[in-house]
Amino acid sequence: MRTVGQLAWKAVARWEMLLVLLILAAGVWSWTLSSFFLRRANLLDLATPYVFLGLLAFGLTFVVIAGEIDISVVSTMAVSAVCFAQLWDSGVNVWLAAAAALALATGLGLVNGVLIGVLDLPSLAVTLGTLAAYRGLAYVVLGGDAIAGFPTHFTNIGGGYISNELPIALLVMLAFAVALGLLLHATRFGRYLYVLGSNREAARFSGIPVMRTRVTVFALSGFMAGVAAVVYLGFFGSIQADAASGSELIDVVTAVVLGGVDIFGGSGSMLGVLLAFVLVAELRNGMQLANWSGATQDMVIGGLLVGAILAGNAVRAAQARGWRLGMAGRRWKEVHHAEGQEEVSVRATLKTPGGGSTR
């Protein structure tokens, strides 16, 4: 008979399956709202406006698995996008400007990383501070202006299509999902993050370069914010200092947590985050179709975020209890079994002296 623990373990292993089911359910809901939903063009294009959020979520996944948090990613993206636009506006080659934006974003992530990894400050407070500070930088650089009119060969990254149907942004995102998935699941660096997120002391004692890994993970998160900035510019074609200053942060955090990444660090998968991102994008799309106000949509996503963590906590609690139950059951069985054996042997000893006399 299966114990509660085994069932709960199954539930965790099937978190991704649950996400797929949720995606299908949300699809059905969207389909009842508008029959256009199921057209191939719409299905392919569904996630395009949100690809930059997915890229931010991928970066954040590494940070959260390592047991930290980076809420400054949206501001990092805004600063690097703004600086890109200023550089381009002042005559710098568009690809050179993009490279500069990537470098800047990585540098800003590195600042977070040094404050957190080297000075050992709490990531929550540091990135809350840099969330505001980087946003302020974006305003300082661009003021209240907007810059638009980037060349098409550049904006294609975020807003172009292959044969008028397949969004390039989607391919960019999938490529990063695969590459980062390999980095997370198939390299030593990736394994370090899981150890770091489970138990930092144990990580230190087992010889993992804790400081370097923590700094790197924030630099990586910053780099992904730079990539997101490029895609953002491509899709929207214009930039202002207040870019992504609203509900974007909560979407990113929700995608990560709903994707099954333990908010306390130490577990999570790239596939889960990708699926959760698709779910969030699909829900946004559906709520847009249903003509819900932005604040109402945010409320739903906020509820989803809270619900995802509560569900994760409940599963883990059941798992812990179930394991204990399962263990107790096993021990009981062992004892029982042993008792039975003893009984048999006692009987045997009882029998032997008398030989066949009793029967």
Partner 1 sequence: MNTRRFVSAQALAEAVVRLRELGIFVALAFTILFFSVRATNFMTADNWRDIATDVSMVVVVAVGQTMVVLTRNIDLSVGSIVGLTAYVSSNTLADHHGLPIVVTALIAMGIGALCGLGNGLLVAVGKIPAIIATLATLAIYRGVLFEVTHGQNVFASQLPQSFLDLAAKKPLGVPSLAWIAIGVALVGAALLRWAPWARDFYAVGSNPDAARLAGIPVARRVMTAFVISGALAGLGGFMFAARFASVDAVAGRGFELDVVTAVVIGGVNVFGGSGSVLGAVLGALLVTTIQDGFTLMRVDEFWKIFFNGAAIVVAVTVDALITKRVQEALRRRRRAELLTAHERAAET
All residues at 6 or more sequence positions from 349 whose CB lies less than 8 Å from its CB, including other chains: none
Amino acid at residue number 109? G
CB 170 within 8 A of CB 47: yes
- How large is the angle between the packed helices 152-159 and 210-236, nearest 10 degrees? 110
> Which listed range, 15-23, 132-140, 269-277, 279-287, lies at the site for partner 1 (CB under 8 A)?
132-140
What is the smallest separation between the CB atom of 301 and partner 1, expressed in angstroms? 7
What is the smallest separation between the CB atom of 231 and partner 1, expressed in angstroms? 24
**211: contact with partner 1 by CB under 8 A:** no
Is the CB of 173 or the CB of 225 nearer to partner 1? 225
Task: Annotate 295-325 with three-state secondary structure.
Answer: HHHHHHHHHHHHHHHHHHHHHHHHHHHHHHH
How many residues form the binding site for partner 1 (CB under 8 A)? 47
**130: contact with partner 1 by CB under 8 A:** yes
**89: contact with partner 1 by CB under 8 A:** no
Phi-psi region of 269 (alpha: psi -120 to 50; beta: other; left: phi over 0): beta
> Which listed range, 22-30, 118-126, 180-188, 337-345, lies at the site for partner 1 (CB under 8 A)?
118-126
**306: contact with partner 1 by CB under 8 A:** yes
301-331: buried (b, 16+ CB within 10 Å) or exposed (e) per residue?
Answer: beebbeebbebbeebeebbeebbeebeeeee
Of 94, 250, 290, 325, the one binding partner 1 by CB under 8 A: 250
> Which listed range, 49-57, 185-193, 222-230, 308-316, lies at the site for partner 1 (CB under 8 A)?
308-316
In angstroms, the CA 67 to CA 42 distance is: 37
- Tokens representing 80 are 């690097």
**18: contact with partner 1 by CB under 8 A:** no
Of 43, 171, 263, 289, the one binding partner 1 by CB under 8 A: 263
> Which listed range, 45-53, 139-147, 155-163, 332-340, lies at the site for partner 1 (CB under 8 A)?
139-147
**348: contact with partner 1 by CB under 8 A:** no
In angstroms, the CA 331 to CA 180 distance is: 43
Q: Which of residues 222-241 bind partner 1 (CB under 8 A)?
A: 241
**305: contact with partner 1 by CB under 8 A:** yes
- Tokens representing 66 are 């390592």
Q: Can you give the binding site for partner 1, defined by CB under 8 A? A: 69, 71, 115, 119-122, 124-126, 128-137, 139-140, 143, 241, 247, 249-250, 253, 257, 263-264, 293-303, 305-306, 309-310, 313
